[in-house]
Chain A
Amino acid sequence: MNRRHPDRPPRAARWLAAVTVVFFCLPFVGLLWKTPWSRLLDVVTDESGRRALWLSMRTSVLAALLSVVFGVPLAWVLATSRFRGRNLIRALCLISMVLPPVVGGISLLFSLGRTGLIGRWLDDWFGFRFTFSSWGVVVAQVFVAMPFLVLTVEGALRQADTRLAEAARTLGATPWYAFRRVTIPSISGALIAGTVLAWARAFGEFGATITFAGNYPGTTRTLSIETYVALESDPGRSMALSVLMVGISFVVLVTLRDRWLGAERSS
């Protein structure tokens, strides 16, 4: 054991960690090395790139918000209820994390697509289609991203001290008031982490989006689809777009790091 740092993990662990870090860094180093830097300015200024970027940003942020609005109550129910079939329900809600995204997209086509179970009703009665619309993009992203938030928040809620909510109840808080004002703040670190995770997944989403929403510039061609399409015809552009995506994700993850680490330290 090291005298100056008695808490340090043993050398073997540090070596393994170093190898793992190299494994993760290598693709980015490769990308940055081969990217023609002049193209970087092009992709953010040309119309196609800007439209794709704007579409990706607004759909992924909306998807993250929807994941919170619908995912937090779900996490609450899963963490606290004990009804029969709860494990089955949880598995169903989380399964899209394990499925290949294209499979998710196809399932969405069969349910919310124009001739799908619910989709045909939406089309007949309201003339509304998810496919080929930006809403379809949002739906595909929510489908793949929400489970990450649900998993994170459910885990935190299970570990949260329920006695605090009880104390709030004795002071006059309804269960919902106690949840909002006491429980949620007590898991704020996990909630933020889960939201960022969901956003990142939504931002990078490709397979379910292209299968369910299609690929149309401005409406459904997200940055990830744009990058893929460019790969075949203009690899330099594709690389520049990749660097853009990596850059954006990196900035978000780094700026939010302090918020979620900071919150954890205090709980």
Chain B
Amino acid sequence: MAVLAIVGSSLMAGCGGDNPTTLRVMAASSLTGAFAEVEAAFELAVPDVDVVMITSSSSSLAAQIVDGADVDVFASADEEQFERAADARTFDPPRVFATNSLVIIVPPGNPRDVRTVDDLARDDVLVATASEDVPIRRYTDRLLAMAGVTANFVTFEANVSGIVTKVATGAADAGIVYVSDLVGADVEGVDVPSQLDVVARYPIAAATNSSRAELARRFVDFTMSADGRAILVANGFTAP
């Protein structure tokens, strides 16, 4: 029994260090790549801080915050999910730190020759999208409404990476995701005409009543600094 207890606690203890402050950042999954770099840069610039990055669909993160999850910074892929979180927890006024455009993705080689938004309505084109509360779905619906197109949806994935997987493996013939998702994915992009461009706005804010609020605000400021913006742009976002 004693042996079990010792082994168990040492496995859970993790590495020591000088007791750095843990900063819990929740970020939309489309920010995964970009924020990994932001995390690294921030930890380099600010001593004694350990950023814990939690990425998931913004709707999932908002649900967790509503449920009482401990968070210091929330970066959402749309303002709606941010407001949902802000209803449950006090945040500083949010600031839009990045915007993202939408793009149609197709499998390598574009097997169904998808060139315009209208092609998404074809019977022979299987379109993947996300389920209702995921921000990308809202943006997609808005775009399709503007174009007057009813897309041939065959699946409602739980998050953006689900859409990318279905298209990259050729199971689906097309999908609509953020421009930033093109980076490193095994898919081809088909541009959306500028008059139909729906801009995704990403708000970020620090949680107000946290013991780490100061540090959280520094993180938010860092994201909006020149260094932060450079990282975002390199990852496919537009930083206003």
A and B touch in the complex (CB under 8 A): yes
Interface residues as binary, A201-218 with B (CB distance below 8 Å gives 1, 0 otherwise): 000000000110011110
Structural contact, A229 and B131, CB atoms closer than 8 A: yes
Given contacts A106-B165, A211-B165, A215-B155, contact A232 B171 (CB under 8 A): no
Distance, CA A232 to CA B84, complexed state (A) = 11
Which of A109-117, A179-187, A258-266 sits within the interface? A109-117
Chain B residue numbers with a CB within 8 Å of A220 are 155
Bound-complex Cα distance A216 to B158 (A): 11
- The answer to whether the Cβ of B132 comes within 8 Å of any Cβ in the partner chain is yes
Q: Which of A109, A116, A210 contacts B158 (CB 8 A)?
A: A210
Shortest C-beta distance, A250 to chain B (Å), equals 26
On chain A, the number of residues with a Cβ less than 8 Å from chain B's Cβ atoms is 23
Chain A residues lying within 8 Å of B63, measured Cβ to Cβ, are: 231-233, 235
In contact, B158 and A228 (Cβ under 8 angstroms): yes
A110 touches which one: B67, B153, B158, B169 (CB < 8 A)?
B169
The 8 A CB mask of B177-219 against A (1 = contact, 0 = none) is 0000000000000000000000000000000000000000000
Q: A232-B63, A233-B133 are in contact. Are A114 and B170 (CB under 8 A)?
A: yes
Can you list, as one digit per residue, whether each of B118-158 has a CB less than 8 Å from chain A (1) or not (0)? 00000000101001110000000000000000000111111
Chain B: minimal CB distance from A170 (Å): 54
**Bound form: Cα–Cα A211–B128 in Å:** 12
Q: How far is the CA of A215 from the CA of B67 in the complex (A)?
A: 25
Contacts of B153 in A (CB 8 A): 216
**Inter-subunit contact A109/B107 (CB<8 Å):** no
**Which residue in chain B gives the minimum CB-CB distance to A130?**
B171
Interface residues of B in 155-180 (CB under 8 A from A): 155-158, 162, 165-166, 169-172
Any B CB within 8 A of the CB of A132 = yes
CB closest residue in chain A, given B126: A132
Task: Give the residue of A210, A214, A216 whose beta carbon is less than 8 angstroms from that of B171.
Answer: A214
Q: Does B59 contact A (CB under 8 A)?
A: yes
Q: A115-B107, A216-B155, A220-B155 are contacts. A232–B133 as well, Cβ < 8 Å?
A: yes
Q: Are B128 and A214 in touch, CB under 8 angstroms?
A: yes
A113: nearest chain-B partner, CB-CB: B171
With A and B bound together, what is the CA distance between A14 and B171 in angstroms? 52
Chain A residues with CB below 8 A from B30, complex form? none
A131 in the interface, Cβ–Cβ < 8 Å?
yes
Return chain A residues, CB-CB under 8 Å to B110: none
Contacting residues, chain B, for A106 (C-beta < 8 A):
165, 169
Mask: chain A, 226-263; 1 = CB below 8 Å from B; 0 = not:
00110111010000000000000000000000000000
Contact with B along A110-138 (1 / 0, CB 8 A): 10011110000000000000011000000
B101 at the interface (CB under 8 A from A): no
Question: Cβ of B60 and Cβ of A109 under 8 Å apart?
Answer: no
Residues of chain B with a CB closer than 8 A to A115's CB: 107, 169-171
Given known contacts A232-B63, A233-B132, is B166 in contact with A214 (CB within 8 Å)?
yes
| Residue of B57, B126, B154, B157 with most partner-chain A CB within 10 A | B154
Taking CB as reference atom, which chain A residue is nearest B133?
A233
> Which of B57, B153, B169 has the most chain A CB within a 10 Å cutoff?
B169
Residues 22 to 57 of chain A near chain B (Cβ within 8 Å)? none
CA distance A131 to B173 in the complex (A): 12
Q: Which residues of A contact B166 (CB under 8 A)?
A: 131, 214
> A214, B132: Cβ atoms under 8 Å?
no
Contact, CB under 8 Å: A232 / B57: yes
A214 to B154, CA, bound (A): 8
CA distance A91 to B229 in the complex (A): 49
**CB-based contact A132/B154 at 8 Å:** yes
Nearest-neighbour CB distance to chain A for B159, whole angstroms, equals 10
A233 surroundings in chain B (CB, below 8 A)? 59, 63, 132-133
A215, B165: Cβ atoms closer than 8 Å: no
Q: Which residue of A lies closest to B64 (CB)?
A: A232
Task: Write the nearest CB–CB distance from A110 to chain B, whole angstroms.
Answer: 7
Which residues from chain B contact A215 at a C-beta distance below 8 Å?
A: 131, 155-158, 162
Q: Is the CB of B155 within 8 A of A132?
A: yes
Q: Are B171 and A109 in contact (CB under 8 A)?
A: yes
Of the candidates A210, A217, A232, A235, the one whose C-beta lies within 8 Å of that of B157 is: A210
Chain A residue numbers with a CB within 8 Å of B133 are 232-233
Additional A-B contact list (9), CB under 8 Å, known A216-B156, A229-B156: A113-B171, A114-B171, A210-B162, A211-B165, A216-B155, A232-B57, A232-B60, A233-B132, A233-B133
A-B pairs with beta carbons under 8 Å apart, 10 shown: A113-B169, A114-B171, A131-B166, A131-B172, A210-B158, A211-B162, A215-B158, A216-B155, A233-B59, A233-B132
Query: Nearest 8 A-B pairs (CB), nearest first?
Result: A214-B155, A115-B170, A131-B171, A132-B154, A232-B59, A233-B133, A109-B169, A232-B63
